[in-house]
Amino acid sequence: MAADYDGSISPFLREILETQGGSQVLQCYQCGTCSGSCPVIDEMEYGPRRIMHLIQAGDEATVLSSKDMWRCVSCYSCSNRCPRGIEITDLMADLRRLALEKGYARDKEAEFGLAFAETVQMHGRMFEPELLTRYYLRVLDLFSLVGMVPLGIKMLLRGKLPFRPDEVAHREEIQEMGVVDSTRLHVATGLRMRRNGQAPKRLSGVLMALLTGLLVGIRFGKGKVQ
């Protein structure tokens, strides 16, 4: 059992025990069945068995800085085969949430996930132009955003890309999804943009105005689409 010097359970382990996926984490006896069952174990840094051990040891920084939970494909092989009945796949989801909430997740995969969640939270459906704009602004990669413009122009001209988002009919249903703080609407800089629980539609307008400016600039700069 992870413990502080006074003999109490470490704060990180206590926090994990309060999650749905980690409630049985102390039952792990390191048999390795989870890692042996994982189809992407070769892509992981530690693997689920060692992640379980690090959690028991209370090593918050190592666990939440690891990319392992982002590489989990949620196949539930580890959970189905765990002899102790630990919901490891759900635990990986809890670790992703904690990594975002505590500021450990800084890689591009995490930023894309946030941009995706914010876009769905805004409209109830996916809107690809806004998703890409949000993502590239989050990672401060305007060069790559501009690089996507020629392809975006071709898709727009051929009717393959919507110019306006398709909003859900009942916006209150978006709020009923149970979106947590880490996936609520933010601008790329992290500024919160919610008002009384409702997302202001003008944020989408600002993002689309930026994208439209890039489209027009590239379009008339080149004279024609190749």
Average pLDDT, stretch 133-151? Answer: 78
Go through 19-50 and write b for each residue having 16 or more CB atoms within 10 A of its CB, e for each that does not. bebbbebbebeeeebbbebbeebeebebbbbb
pLDDT in tens, 162-171: 767 776 677 6
pLDDT in tens, 86-123: 999 999 999 988 988 888 876 677 777 778 877 777 77
The domains found in the chain, sorted by start residue, are: 11-101 (1.10.1060.10), 108-222 (no CATH)
Position 192 pLDDT exceeds 50 = no
| pLDDT, averaged across the chain | 76
CB 68 within 8 A of CB 47: yes
Of the two residues 4 and 142, the one the predictor is more confident about is 142
What are the φ/ψ torsions at residue 193 (nearest 5 degrees)? -130, 40
Distance CA 125, CA 222 (A): 33
Q: Looking up tokens 């601008």, which residue turns up? A: 187
Position 213 pLDDT exceeds 70 = no
Of the two residues 127 and 53, the one the predictor is more confident about is 53
Residue 51: name the closest of 86, 81, 83 by CA: 86
Position 217 pLDDT exceeds 70 = no
pLDDT in tens, 172-181: 666 665 554 4
Average pLDDT, stretch 127-137? Answer: 81
Position 157 pLDDT exceeds 50 = yes
Of the two residues 95 and 4, the one the predictor is more confident about is 95
Position 76 pLDDT exceeds 80 = yes
Position 77 pLDDT exceeds 90 = yes
